[in-house]
Amino acid sequence: MKDIYVVKEGKRLRCGYTTGSCSAAAAKACAIMLESGRIIGSVSIDTPYGIRLDLKVEDPHIYNKYASCFIVKDGGDDPDVTDGIEIYARVSKRDDS
């Protein structure tokens, strides 16, 4: 992701990304891996504001009927308490699919 900045109280701050963006990216990565049968190292999502995020996929695994991974949240220069947490996802195939 290209760095995006905002000015807050006269300071230039690098934007991070939301917990929701991390969870959406992790779920998308799992679905891609499960469908393709291949491990991926990054995944792209478009935010509601039209910003494309290219996020690193961490600890990717593919099993018989599910895939799992996580995305590390980057809170930017003005982080909240969730900065740096691992947002996990697991996507499973349904038996009737």
pLDDT tens for residues 38-68?
999 999 999 988 989 999 999 999 999 999 9
Q: Check residue 49 and give its pLDDT.
A: 86
53 vs 15: which has the higher pLDDT: 53
- In terms of Cβ atoms closer than 10 Å to its own Cβ (0-12, 13-18, 19+), residue 29 is buried
- In terms of Cβ atoms closer than 10 Å to its own Cβ (0-12, 13-18, 19+), residue 56 is middle
Contact between residue 15 and residue 5 where contact means Cβ atoms under 8 Å apart: yes
Q: How far apart are CA 55 and CA 95, in angstroms?
A: 30
Q: Provide the whole-model pTM.
A: 0.88
Q: Check residue 2 and give its pLDDT.
A: 64
Q: Residues of the chain with pLDDT > 70: what percent? A: 97
Q: Check residue 15 and give its pLDDT.
A: 78
Q: How far apart are CA 62 and CA 55, in angstroms?
A: 19
- Residue 5 above 80 pLDDT? no
Average pLDDT, the chain: 92
Q: How far apart are CA 15 and CA 89, in angstroms?
A: 23
